[in-house]
Amino acid sequence: MSNEINGEILASLTSEELRDDLGVINLKHRRELLTAIKSIGGMKKGEDTLPEHGRILDHLSNVRTFHSWVRVGVQLLAFALVSLRLFPTWRENRNLITGCSLYYSCVGAFAILYGLARYALVVKWIEESGVKTPKYHPDKIGVAVMLVLVLVATALTLYVITLDATPAGP
């Protein structure tokens, strides 16, 4: 006699077999076992409980967004360094260029720190939310603030470039 139980045998068990062959005397316990067996049988092959309403995909999306914030910050920091190095040191507007580079550095650092704070907040929201209780809120303020900061940086860059284009006085 074999003691192996596979999915087919488990799915074919009856209440009488549970009582007589397996010794499950209590009717309530037999019903609970049969309900559990039925729910297991209804699962699709390869289905598991991990993706809870797309939680894993939400986390992966959050990581990609964080990496985007870090990329923006690093690019602004690199632009600050480039603007300091590429403009000649003998120019009379050196303080303006240094100020612009400092501004780019601050905006870059802000982007990295904001991305980190937003990442942590969204992780908390994902972990606390469920299918019927979503807690995620789109990031409208952070995007708007970053847009304004980058537009100011663009205006500063264009101003510095036009200073190069204006002819020097006599």
* pLDDT at residue 1 tops 60: no
Residue at 111 is within a domain = yes
pLDDT classification of 168: cutoffs 50, 70, 90 = low
Is residue 56 within 8 A of residue 50, CB to CB? The reply is yes
Q: Is there a single domain that holds both residue 20 and residue 87? A: no
Give me the pLDDT at residue 52, please: 52
pLDDT tens string 9-56:
777 878 888 888 888 888 888 888 888 878 776 665 555 444 555 677
Is residue 107 within 8 A of residue 76, CB to CB? The reply is yes
Q: Is there a single domain that holds both residue 106 and residue 130? A: yes
Give me the pLDDT at residue 170, please: 55
Residue at 2 is within a domain = no
d(CA 3, CA 92): 91
Q: Is there a single domain that holds both residue 68 and residue 25? A: no
Q: Which of 67, 103, 70, 96 is nearest to 161 (CA)?
A: 96
Q: What is the arithmetic mean of pLDDT over 92-100?
A: 80
Q: Which domain holds residue 18?
A: 7-41
pTM of this structure: 0.60
Is residue 115 within 8 A of residue 69, CB to CB? The reply is yes
Residue at 47 is within a domain = no
Name the residue with tokens 């045998």. 9
Domain total of the chain: 2
SS3 of 34, please? helix
Q: Is there a single domain that holds both residue 147 and residue 80? A: yes
Q: Is there a single domain that holds both residue 75 and residue 158? A: yes
Q: Is there a single domain that holds both residue 13 and residue 64? A: no
Give me the pLDDT at residue 164, please: 64
Residue at 85 is within a domain = yes
Q: Is there a single domain that holds both residue 22 and residue 59? A: no
Q: Is there a single domain that holds both residue 81 and residue 150? A: yes
